[in-house]
Amino acid sequence: MTSMETQTEPAELAAFRAEARAWLTDNAQPRAAGSKDYKRRMAVSSERREDEHDQLEQTKAVQRRIYEAGFAGLSVPEEYGGRGLTTAHELIWRQESSAFALDTGKLIIGLGMAVPTIMGHGTEWQKQRFVAPALRGEEMWCQLFSEPGAGSDLAGLTTTAVRDGDEWVVNGQKVWNSSAHLADWGILIARTDWDVPKHRGLSFFLVDMATPGVEARPLRQITGVAHFNETFLTDARIPADNLLGGVNNGWGVAQTTLANERAAIGNVGSGIGFDDWIELARHYGRLDDPGIRDRLVGLYVRLQLLRWLGQRAQASMRAGKGPGPESSVAKLFGSNHIALNGDLAMAIEGADAMLYAADAFEDGFWQQLFLDQWNSRIGGGTEQVQRNIIGERILGLPTEARPDKTEPFRDIPRNA
């Protein structure tokens, strides 16, 4: 933060910034000045299950410390475990804590998606039951949205939930569920009415991942890491109290989750900077290559645009606004940025791009950067989905003629 910005910051926020900075200085390690440690960690191509559980326990312990210090759920009302401050305070915490090694990334679905969704649509019991444990780092969440036959067209999902007394019986399959094999709880969308248009027959549930009939199976990715899962639900019984937002209102509830997800993915700070790209090109003797130099200039421009998009999001937070369809702009731009970066890394390395792990420059970090790009580009909605959202909700363009939006879902042709 510049000295000019500090001078213009309201006294209350300046005092909070000083409080956060003091606690971080006394209780956390500054992030390493360089990016070598980040590259080493990101180049890892396999994980042992024991290591994953150990890392998760460490993450939960870090979140607990943050909570006990009063810096978790800053804008969440005090009665639900937060501090009752504003989104401007949240922004200041993000700015200050980014300079310190406080890894809570595995809890992002709970903290960044489940909590705001529950706060926006939950019953009093749901807020009391679920928000504070997430803020304390006691419970990890996963997202059970996508399906093998309904990825980009999420509203076309066929996982079913049927009411049976005080429970809902759920059957179906989900996929691309980040860390579902480690999660305590999941946010789930299922179909509760087949006789209305597809967006109107969905309901949103909070699922205990230890429920009989819920099985998460890790999927080995192209990078070698099993981060995603496919999750099978077989006669899984969910208490009726765990329905969030009412029957058949799931699509509207999910928009809160998805907007927060896109905002998180659109903020694509990768842990490396422009200097790292210059060093890569220098290592391979490509700094004098006109084509590479032109692409490096494009990279620099994109980094500045991402910074400005981030400032726009910060201004929206200071104004007390949540993420809206504008988050799709950041998500789409971030996806294009990641794709171009992967291609540029491979172009700079040339034939060496075929090497891997310890045989490659910087332990194969740049190969991992290329291979892992589809994680962020597809997650949170593909480029095509984001363009539709921007066109329809921001630019006001007419929607395409789509009978599947108006006809009963039961009558719409689907993949077998």
Active-site residue list? 261
User: Can you say whether the dihedral through the CA atoms of 302, 307, 310, 316 is positive or negative?
Assistant: negative
CA dihedral 315, 317, 319, 321 (to 10 degrees): 130
Let me know: does 187 contact 114? Beta carbons within 8 Å.
Answer: yes
Distant-in-sequence, close-in-space partners of 112: CB < 8 Å, separation ≥ 6:
260, 261, 264
- Which distant-in-sequence residues (6+ apart) come within 8 Å of 210 by Cβ? 184
Q: How far apart are CA 246 and CA 70, in angstroms?
A: 32
Instruction: For residues 50 and 100, give the distance between their C-alpha atoms in angstroms, rounded to a whole number.
Output: 26
Dig out the tokens for 9 from the structure. 């910051």
In whole angstroms, what is the distance from residue 107 CA to residue 128 CA? Answer: 19
Yes or no: say if 360 and 352 are a contact pair by the CB < 8 Å rule: yes
Task: Specify which residues 164 forms β-bridges with.
Answer: 167
Cβ contacts of 14-23, under 8 Å, gap ≥ 24 = 16/85, 16/89, 16/92, 17/92, 17/96, 20/71, 20/92, 20/93, 20/96, 20/97, 21/96, 23/69, 23/71
